[in-house]
Structure 1
Amino acid sequence: MERYAISFQVKPGTEAVVRDLLANYSPPEWTTPDGARLLGTSIFMKDGLVVRMMEIDGSLPRIMTHLARQPAIQELERRLDEFLVEPRDMSSPAGARAFFQKAMMEHVTTRVAVFEEQGA
Structure 2
Amino acid sequence: MPFAAITYDIRAGCEDEVAEVFTGFRRVGSPSVPDSSGREAARILSTAVFLRDATLIRVIEYEGDLDAVARHMAAQPGVQEVERRLKPYLNSPRDTDTVEGFVRTFRAGLLRCVSQIGVPRD
For 1:39 and 1:113, the matched residues in 2 are separated by: 16
Figure out how many residues of one structure are paired with residues of the other and give that number.
114
Over the matched positions of the two proteins, sequence identity in percent amounts to 30
- Where do 5+ consecutive residues of structure 1 fail to align? 115-120
Structure 1 segments of 4 or more deviating over 4 A? none
Please identify which structure carries the higher strand content.
2
Post-superposition shift, 1:8?
A: 1.5
Residue in structure 1 matched with residue 44 of structure 2 by the alignment: 38
Give yes or no for contact 2:71–2:103 (8 Å, CA) kept in 1.
no
Deviation at 1:113, TM superposition (A): 4.2
Contact 2:74–2:98 (8 Å) recurs in 1: no
TM-score w.r.t. structure 1 length? 0.85
- Taking the aligned partners of 1:113 and 1:92, their CA distance within structure 2 comes to 37
- 1:19, 1:26 → 2: CA distance? 15
Q: Secondary structure at the match of 2:73?
A: helix
Give the TM-score, by structure 2 length: 0.84
5+ long unaligned stretches in structure 2: none
- Displacement of 1:111 in angstroms is 1.6
Structure 1 residue 111 corresponds to structure 2 residue 117: yes
- The reply on whether 1:20 has 2:15 as its aligned counterpart is no
